[in-house]
Structure 1
Amino acid sequence: MKSYSKKDLILKTIIETYLEGNNPVGSNELNHKVSIPASTIRVYFKKLSDEGVLTQLHISSGRIPTFSAMKAYWYEQLYENEIVINDLALLEFLLDKFEIYTLIYGGDELVLQGVDIVNDKFIVLDFVQNEIVLKFNQDSLIFLQRLIGLDLKSIENLAFRVEFKELLGKIAMLKQAMIYYRYNESKAYQIYQNDEFAKLLSPQIGFYFNDKLQFQPLFEEGFMGLKLKSTFLGKESNAIFAGSVYSDFKTMLNIIKEAA
């Protein structure tokens, strides 16, 4: 178990207390949780506020963690890389409770088994139970033949690097057809509050996750996204969760893990 300094312990406890009820946290309330005198806590409140990780909405109110504090907290706390989802009713209960949007889709795990030519007009990429059809072009054929054995995610990355737009478009269509689950679209709209919210409805959003956690510029300030490998009702997939930095992603994931 990680050992925390007094200052870090106070900050961590403030964050977790705030996540429980989304109410400003006062020194007396914190005193009951960390067994540190309220007068000492108030000293650390001042230090943490000066560092920009706590803020105070009103002079008489308690403190709340800033966006930067939440970003650092989630980088430290969200260490899960995979999730197993077997209970859809429980998932929807948690997504409603914590006000989180989710998108679950397949496709990235598909492996290119072969490349065929049809009537000298089309190139067919064989992914066993799925396929992608492209217009025939000799240069494209040579490029694609070198990709046999790679998964779709790797192929997509390479197509992006060489600006193979037709292939990127067909990959997007394939992934769109492999959306297994999408919930709380209204929360996706709240993140952007304009037409950009539509990008969260497509599996292509996953392409822009160079790490499992993303904040700005992919998401608006105060919001975040989490991408995990998942097994959804027995299907290999990817899960994207998005919401406010003040939504309790950690508790949600822990409950799902315990129920799996």
Structure 2
Amino acid sequence: MIKVEDKRELILKSIIETYLSDNTPIGSNELNSSLCIPASTIRVYLKKLSDEGLITQIHISSGRIPTILTMQNYWRNELDIDSELDIKNEIFLYHLLKEYKIYCLVYGGRDLVLKEIFNLNDKFIILDFEENEIVLKYNSQGFDFLKTLIGLNLFDLENIVLKVKFVELAQKISNLKQSLVYSKINEQRAYQIYQNDEFAKLLDCTVDRKFNKNLQFEPLFKKGFMGFKINAQFLGKSVNIIFAGSVYTDYNKVLKQIKEAA
């Protein structure tokens, strides 16, 4: 016999996964067929889940769908963003994200490490990242401070620079990161998320600063939308990727297809 709490979770999960798969509201008869729980029992749980604000009806005569809050909690527990992606075909990625209405920003910098800093005639400080460099106006305090940061990657360096309000270096890091944007896919979707000029923040890789957690909902995104950051290899380069779209998009299915195509 299925426990009461298990029935509740089973019914809720079935509604979520059915809606992600088919984008179709589900009723007690469909749940009865798939779960083998009496329809009368299911209707009791549907009422409870509705009262708790976890599911809702679009129309009085229609089945139920999960609420935005339910989907946010679902993705916090179920989204698979810990394993690194390996993307070898940009055209495949483009068509997949178009199909699922997902915006995507691909940018490098994860493998850039501050190797050394140099004082150039007390006029400039040069930060050496091997294949890239940043040039700053010289001052002795800045030079001494930066020497303590040798060995950090670009993103860790940026976090520290922002905390101490080292404005010139923060801007130079932003410029460097912008030069490392490798791909933007489905920019129209970025606009649809906001419906105003706020969408531009998703086109700039400085949006990375707002991802103190790799999964973000409001206030970074408008209600009903979300974004997440994941590590990847993109055409042989170490990158971060930010995906953004509706909370009702099946992101695990998308990630699975990307992994299977690798």
Return the TM-score normalized by structure 2.
Answer: 0.95
Aligned to 1:30: 31
Provide the rounded CA distance (Å) in 1 between the counterparts of 2:67 and 2:235: 37
Provide the rounded CA distance (Å) in 1 between the counterparts of 2:252 and 2:41: 29
Aligned to 1:167: 169
- Alpha carbons 1:54, 1:64 under 8 Å: kept: yes
Provide the rounded CA distance (Å) in 2 between the counterparts of 1:97 and 1:213: 22
Aligned to 2:120: 118
Aligned residues: 258
Q: Tell me by how many angstroms 1:180 deviates.
A: 1.0
Provide the rounded CA distance (Å) in 1 between the counterparts of 2:11 and 2:77: 15
Aligned to 1:80: 81
Provide the rounded CA distance (Å) in 1 between the counterparts of 2:37 and 2:172: 59
Q: Tell me by how many angstroms 1:252 deviates.
A: 0.1
- Alpha carbons 2:107, 2:180 under 8 Å: kept: yes
Deviations 1:199-243 (A, max 9, x none): 100111111111110001111111100100111111100010000
Return the TM-score normalized by structure 1.
Answer: 0.96
Query: Which secondary structure state, in structure 1, belongs to the residue aligned with residue 37 of structure 2?
Result: coil
Q: Tell me by how many angstroms 1:79 deviates.
A: 2.8
Deviations 1:131-182 (A, max 9, x none): 0111111111111111101111110010011011111111111111011111
- Alpha carbons 2:80, 2:252 under 8 Å: kept: no
Provide the rounded CA distance (Å) in 1 between the counterparts of 2:167 and 2:110: 18
Query: Which secondary structure state, in structure 2, belongs to the residue aligned with residue 44 of structure 1?
Result: helix
Q: Give 1:7-46 correspondences, 5 Å limit.
A: 7-46=8-47
Q: Give unmatched runs, 5+ long, in structure 2.
A: none
Q: Tell me by how many angstroms 1:118 deviates.
A: 1.7
Provide the rounded CA distance (Å) in 1 between the counterparts of 2:37 and 2:94: 38
Query: Structure 1: which amino acid aligns with 2:155?
Result: K
Query: Which secondary structure state, in structure 2, belongs to the residue aligned with residue 229 of structure 1?
Result: strand
Aligned to 2:62: 61
Query: Structure 2: which amino acid aligns with 1:15?
Result: I
Query: Which secondary structure state, in structure 2, belongs to the residue aligned with residue 5 of structure 1?
Result: helix
Q: Give unmatched runs, 5+ long, in structure 1.
A: none
Deviations 1:109-144 (A, max 9, x none): 310000012232111100000001111111111111
Aligned to 2:138: 136
Q: Tell me by how many angstroms 1:23 deviates.
A: 2.0
- Alpha carbons 2:110, 2:238 under 8 Å: kept: no
Q: Give 1:88-99 correspondences, 5 Å limit.
A: 88-99=90-101
> How large is the Cα RMSD of the aligned pairs?
1.4
Aligned to 2:109: 107
Provide the rounded CA distance (Å) in 1 between the counterparts of 2:120 and 2:129: 16
Q: Tell me by how many angstroms 1:24 deviates.
A: 1.5
Aligned-pair identity in percent equals: 57
Report whether the alignment pairs 1:208 with 2:210.
Answer: yes
Q: More deviation in 86-95 or 123-132?
A: 86-95
Deviations 1:27-69 (A, max 9, x none): 1222222222222211111111111110112111111111110
